[in-house]
Chain A
Amino acid sequence: MNSFFSGKPVALNQVRKSYNGTGILKNISLDISAGRFCTFLGASGSGKSTLLKIIAGFEYADSGEISIGGRNMAQVPARRRNIGMVFQNYALFPNMSVARNIAFGLETRRVSRNETRARVNEMLEIIGLSGFGDRLPSELSGGQQQRVALARAMVIRPDVLLMDEPLGALDRVIRQSLQTQIKDIQRSFGITILFVTHDQEEALHMSDDVVIMRDGMIEQIGSPQDLYARPINRFVGSFLGDCNFISRNGKEYAIRPEATHVGDASNGRDHILDGVLSQIVFLGGREKLTVMVGDMNFTAIRNVSNTNEPIVPGSPVRIGFSLRDATALAK
Chain B
Amino acid sequence: MKAQRPKENRRLALATAPLVLFLLLFFAYPVARLCVLSFADPEGPLASYARLLSVPAYRAGLMATFGISSLVTILSVLCAYPVAYLMASVRPRLAALLGLCVLLPFWTSSLVRTTAWIILLQRYGVINSLLLHAGLIRSPISFIYNLSGVLIGMTHVLMPFVVLPLYSAFRGLDRSQLDAAEGLGGSWLKIIGRLVLPLTSRAACSGAAIVFMSALGYYVTPALMGGARETMAAQLIAFNVEDQLDWPMAGAFSSIIVAASVMIFACAQRLSGPGGLFGSPVKATQATRSDVAIRRSPLDWGVAACGAALLFFLILPLLIIAPMSFGASPFMSFPPEHLTWRWYHQVFTRPQWRAALWNSLQIGMIAVTGATILGSLAAIGLDALRGRVRTAAEMLIIMPMIAPAIALAIGLYYEFAPLHLLSGHWGLGLGHIVLASPFVFIAVRSALQRFDPTLLDAATGLGAGPLRVTYRVLLPAIAPGVAAGAIFAFVTSFDDVVLALFLTDVRSRTLPRLIYENVSQDINPTVAVASTLVALATLLVLSINLLLTKSKS
A residues whose Cβ falls under 8 Å from a Cβ of B: 56-62, 74-75, 77-85, 87, 89, 91-95, 104-105, 108-109, 152-153, 156
Would you mind naming 8 contact pairs between A and B with Cβ atoms under 8 Å apart?
Answer: A56-B457, A58-B461, A79-B461, A81-B461, A83-B461, A104-B459, A108-B464, A152-B462
- Partner among A60, A74, A85, A156 whose Cβ is within 8 Å of the Cβ of B458: A85
A302 to B359, CA, bound (A): 90
User: Within 8 Å of chain A (Cβ to Cβ): is B54?
Assistant: no
- Partner among B452, B460, B463, B477 whose Cβ is within 8 Å of the Cβ of A95: B477
Residue of A nearest to B454 (CB): A91
Does the CB pair A87–B458 fall under 8 Å? yes
Contacts of B472 in A (CB 8 A): 93, 104
The smallest C-beta distance from A9 to any residue of chain B, in angstroms, reads: 20
Does the CB pair B462–A56 fall under 8 Å? no
Interface size band for B: 20 to 34
Secondary structure type dominating chain B contacts? helix
Contacts of A104 in B (CB 8 A): 459, 462, 464, 472
A80 to B461, CA, bound (A): 8
Does the CB pair B452–A105 fall under 8 Å? no
Does the CB pair B458–A108 fall under 8 Å? no
Contacts of B465 in A (CB 8 A): 79, 108
Does the CB pair B1–A91 fall under 8 Å? no
- Partner among A91, A92, A93, A156 whose Cβ is within 8 Å of the Cβ of B463: A156
User: Which residue, of A77, A84, A91, A152, has the highest number of chain B Cβ atoms within 10 A?
Assistant: A91
Known A89-B452, A93-B473, A95-B476; judge A60-B5 contact (CB<8 A): yes
A60 to B53, CA, bound (A): 63
User: Within 8 Å of chain A (Cβ to Cβ): is B266?
Assistant: no
Known A91-B452, A94-B477, A95-B476; judge A58-B462 contact (CB<8 A): no
Contacts of B476 in A (CB 8 A): 93, 95
B443-478 residues with Cβ-Cβ distance < 8 A to A are 452, 454-455, 457-465, 468, 472-473, 476-477
Residue of B nearest to A77 (CB): B4
User: Within 8 Å of chain A (Cβ to Cβ): is B2?
Assistant: yes
B residues whose Cβ falls under 8 Å from a Cβ of A: 1-2, 4-5, 452, 454-455, 457-465, 468, 472-473, 476-477
Does the CB pair B463–A79 fall under 8 Å? yes
The smallest C-beta distance from B511 to any residue of chain A, in angstroms, reads: 38
Residue of A nearest to B8 (CB): A77
A280 to B197, CA, bound (A): 53
A108 to B463, CA, bound (A): 6
Does the CB pair A91–B458 fall under 8 Å? yes
The smallest C-beta distance from B25 to any residue of chain A, in angstroms, reads: 36
A156 to B462, CA, bound (A): 8
Does the CB pair A108–B462 fall under 8 Å? yes
The smallest C-beta distance from B5 to any residue of chain A, in angstroms, reads: 6
A89 to B455, CA, bound (A): 10
- Partner among A58, A62, A79, A108 whose Cβ is within 8 Å of the Cβ of B2: A62
Does the CB pair A75–B463 fall under 8 Å? no
A182 to B463, CA, bound (A): 23
The smallest C-beta distance from A63 to any residue of chain B, in angstroms, reads: 9
A291 to B452, CA, bound (A): 50
User: Which residue, of B1, B472, B476, has the highest number of chain A Cβ atoms within 10 A?
Assistant: B1
Contacts of B1 in A (CB 8 A): 60-61, 74-75
Given contacts A83-B461, A104-B462, A108-B465, 20 further A-B pairs with CB under 8 A are A57-B460, A58-B461, A60-B5, A61-B1, A75-B1, A77-B4, A78-B460, A79-B461, A79-B462, A79-B463, A87-B454, A87-B458, A91-B452, A91-B457, A95-B477, A108-B462, A108-B463, A153-B462, A156-B462, A156-B463
Contacts of A93 in B (CB 8 A): 455, 458-459, 472-473, 476
A321 to B270, CA, bound (A): 65
Nearest 6 CB-CB pairs, A to B?
Answer: A105-B462, A108-B463, A91-B458, A95-B476, A85-B461, A91-B454
Residue of B nearest to A105 (CB): B462
A108 to B459, CA, bound (A): 9
A56 to B454, CA, bound (A): 13
A58 to B4, CA, bound (A): 10
Residue of A nearest to B466 (CB): A79
Residue of B nearest to A62 (CB): B2
Contacts of A79 in B (CB 8 A): 460-465
A57 to B461, CA, bound (A): 8
User: Which residue, of A59, A62, A104, has the highest number of chain B Cβ atoms within 10 A?
Assistant: A104
The smallest C-beta distance from B509 to any residue of chain A, in angstroms, reads: 43
A163 to B525, CA, bound (A): 69
Does the CB pair B473–A60 fall under 8 Å? no
Contacts of B463 in A (CB 8 A): 79-80, 82, 105, 108-109, 156
